[in-house]
Amino acid sequence: MSERRLEGKIVLVTGGGRGIGRGIALAAAKQGADVAIAELDPDTAKTSAEEVSALGVRSVGFPCDVGTRADCEGAVAATASELGGIDVLVNNAAWTRTPGRPLLETTDEDFARTLETNLWATFWMMRASHPHLLRRGGGSIVNFASNSGTFGRENQAPYAAAKEGIRGLSRVAAQEWGPQGIRVNVICPYANSPGMVAWSETEPETYAASLATIPLRRVGDCEDDIGRATVFLASDDAAYVTGQTLFVDGGAGSTR
């Protein structure tokens, strides 16, 4: 096993300006990857790219609203143009209303926006990246789902539906694209992201109850836990792994 698992690889991370996305970007850079960061906030995209570059690899950051097809396609094109291609796509960016609402109080607008920034965004990014992955001889896609979907958490209907849709989409892509050398896997994380922090503040009782179900009794670190797991799935160490969901959640998935 090489010391730098992603040496020579080009990685595109959506939502890479903060939280889990930033953790993934840093973890990939420390394993030798050049990293493109697509982020809604242009300031955090720039800051994160600078942090990655400081690790001795190439990095670019650009604003991207993944809920817009044109922005998704533009992010893929910009990555290929600036860095020379794409070997790994990480679909991490997402949006959900915080706090959540009961299903019967969920508006069409909230449901649509959640689907756009999760399921549709993943589809758009995968479709746009496909030819670039092929040109590099194949590659890896790591999509992000959520225990909100696998458990069916209350007040999270749009997010749960979108994230479970991503799992289905990923399994289909793994079947169709596997013969082309493209692997597609999913991570269900439990991490100290900005969204998690907001949830803990707006719904402390629900958050505490959720934490109590974690066998390891801690919230995962964005870089050390989620980032390194993503690096594994992106790397040749996982060359025979596709169509799978990896629960990086301290054991919570095992209690379903």
pLDDT tens sequence across 94-115: 988 867 799 999 999 999 999 9
Annotated catalytic residue 207: no
- pLDDT at site 254: 59
CATH superfamily of 10-250: NAD(P)-binding Rossmann-like Domain (3.40.50.720)
CA distance 111 to 71: 20
Judged against a pLDDT cut of 70, whether residue 255 lies above it is answered with: no
Domain boundaries, the chain: 10-250
Enumerate the β-bridge partners of residue 101.
Answer: 156
CA distances from 232 to 28, 130, 164, 186, 240 (A): 10, 20, 22, 12, 12
pTM of the model: 0.94
CA distance 79 to 250: 33
- pLDDT at site 179: 98
From the candidates 159, 190, 207, 240, give the one annotated as an active-site residue.
Answer: 159
pLDDT digits (tens, 9 = 90+) for 190-224: 999 887 888 788 888 988 888 888 999 899 999 99
- pLDDT at site 193: 85
